[in-house]
Structure 1
């Protein structure tokens, strides 16, 4: 069976669109369509149902897509093993993490990694969407929750707590909230409920409290932190981010939020990767220094 046609089929099945698959493969829509027709002719089967909203796999298409997924994963693992066998301390490492952690905590520290490994190039990919490391959408991921995927190596890095913060300027002339119910009398800033969820339990302040109405919701913690620093209101933030803004003071001492772990994850086939080891050791050293500077939340 022609692998080029299977590769095109796999891209179309994943995207559900000839146009999107063509953009990913740098092929015209007509070329993609021709490859799919030729594959269907060679198999004597219809692989897609075509309708106005896109393409749906037929039963035969589902069976073939399962096989191409396995082939694609095997090829990705083989490429990773070959690269890991050749690499030393140089080359590129693709790192996926959230907008808040990557922008505010990780990026400012990368100068020290450059000093330790000047031949290493980082491709920092910031998104609150979780990428598929097993399919090599990145080499390593710094994640705010563990992955259910069994083919990943995962290492807990840092315990974090969500809690409430505000500036002295915002609190000037009004009592600081001590409980979650007190937030009904405050301007509340929080993470958007309909945004990508890098954390679990982001709705903790609203549970059973209909009187709390946020004045601002933001789809990532970077924007939320900046609004809180400017005194817009009381924000629910991870303590490691709030620690970077000395103008923020913790409030709501009777309402500590949930705790979670930050994890570093990478595919099993990169177990022996020197690049991954360099990045892992760098993170552990930086986080150890962070814990000394900002002791764990006492609440």
Structure 2
């Protein structure tokens, strides 16, 4: 590669934003500029380096082999710039930018979202995008910078850290349980309507747990949303398997067969290896790990 005088640090910022998101529009939003400006800066960088960094296709911008190599160089420069900023501000790194976090709806809405204010206080120059759609966001395609996952990738260029186990139980509203036949064993559950996930829309094996309770259970009401399931349970529509960290804040809910049925699942923190040294992503990861550790009882009961 040969750099011309037109090559600047700003060009690297644009390059990294597109490399991490794969989309001009998303990169433009992160950089608070226009789609056209990002496109122009990428074209200028490629001309300056005299090398093609991206393949353009209908899905967006995909790094070429040379682009993949250049990411490593650009991120080392970015890390050094962050360290310089930290030195200038007396060891208080003022990270700036946007981090996109993908997380399951239950963890995102019922645990993390209420704590976003605390995160913002600690990192006022960081913006957090929290994605909770019912699918696995691709870290390799830069659809997210970091993910909380129920089932970690089986392979690939990822750093995986188990952050906690969490307990689930069968719950029903006190009003519902008071008006229905008493439940003393697993077979009694078959006489009750269940609330659960839509079977062919379960995006992670860890959410497929009714079979662990009783193979004969068929949910009467199904939703891809844990919030909708919780609402139906609170409206006395039936029984539902819920995480303890969600149900514990609902005094109307009561555990069924508490001694006999205790399900355990896990949350993992997943990062692409390209993002391990990224200070913004590390700030989000450290905050999530510390928050979970400080609230361990909420997950395990």
For Structure 1 versus Structure 2, the TM-score category normalised by the shorter chain is 0.5 to 0.7
CA distance in 1, matches of 2:64, 2:197: 34
Deviation at 1:162, TM superposition (A): 2.9
2:143 matches 1:143: no
2:278 matches 1:265: no
Q: Pick one of 219, 239, 248 that aligns with 1:243.
A: 248
2:190 matches 1:190: no
Q: Pick one of 92, 96, 99 that aligns with 2:98.
A: 92
CA distance in 2, matches of 1:132, 1:295: 26
Correspondence for 1:200: 206
Q: Pick one of 270, 291, 294 that aligns with 2:296.
A: 291
- Residues 163, 272 of structure 1: alpha-carbon distance in 2 compared, 3 angstrom cutoff: same
CA distance in 2, matches of 1:164, 1:126: 24
**With structure 1 as the length reference, what TM-score do the two structures score?**
0.67
Correspondence for 1:160: 166
- Residues 273, 233 of structure 1: alpha-carbon distance in 2 compared, 3 angstrom cutoff: same
Deviation at 1:245, TM superposition (A): 2.6
Deviation at 1:256, TM superposition (A): 2.0
Correspondence for 1:130: 136
Q: Pick one of 220, 230, 239 that aligns with 1:225.
A: 230
Asked whether the 8 Å contact 1:89–1:117 carries over to 2, the reply is yes
Correspondence for 2:26: none
CA distance in 2, matches of 1:111, 1:165: 30
Q: Pick one of 102, 113, 117 that aligns with 1:111.
A: 117
Deviation at 1:83, TM superposition (A): 4.6
Paired residue secondary structure (2:282):
helix
Asked whether the 8 Å contact 2:161–2:269 carries over to 1, the reply is yes
CA distance in 2, matches of 1:79, 1:182: 61
Paired residue secondary structure (2:199):
coil
Structure 1 stretches of 5 or more lacking a match?
Answer: 1-25, 27-66
Q: 1:217-258: CA deviations, max 9, x gaps?
A: 111212112211222211012222222333222112254254
CA distance in 1, matches of 2:240, 2:256: 10
Deviation at 1:177, TM superposition (A): 2.8
Deviation at 1:262, TM superposition (A): 0.2
CA distance in 2, matches of 1:216, 1:147: 30
- Residues 125, 75 of structure 1: alpha-carbon distance in 2 compared, 3 angstrom cutoff: farther
2:187 matches 1:172: no
Q: Pick one of 218, 234, 242 that aligns with 2:239.
A: 234
Number of residue pairs aligned between Structure 1 and Structure 2: 230
**With structure 2 as the length reference, what TM-score do the two structures score?**
0.67
Please tell me the root mean square deviation across aligned C-alpha atoms, in Å: 2.8
CA distance in 2, matches of 1:138, 1:193: 26
Asked whether the 8 Å contact 2:166–2:299 carries over to 1, the reply is no
CA distance in 1, matches of 2:221, 2:251: 22
Paired residue secondary structure (1:123):
strand
Asked whether the 8 Å contact 2:186–2:214 carries over to 1, the reply is no
CA distance in 2, matches of 1:283, 1:200: 20
Q: 1:23-69: CA deviations, max 9, x gaps?
A: xxx9xxxxxxxxxxxxxxxxxxxxxxxxxxxxxxxxxxxxxxxx978
CA distance in 2, matches of 1:290, 1:176: 33
Asked whether the 8 Å contact 1:84–1:270 carries over to 2, the reply is no
Deviation at 1:180, TM superposition (A): 2.8
CA distance in 2, matches of 1:118, 1:173: 51
Correspondence for 1:101: 107
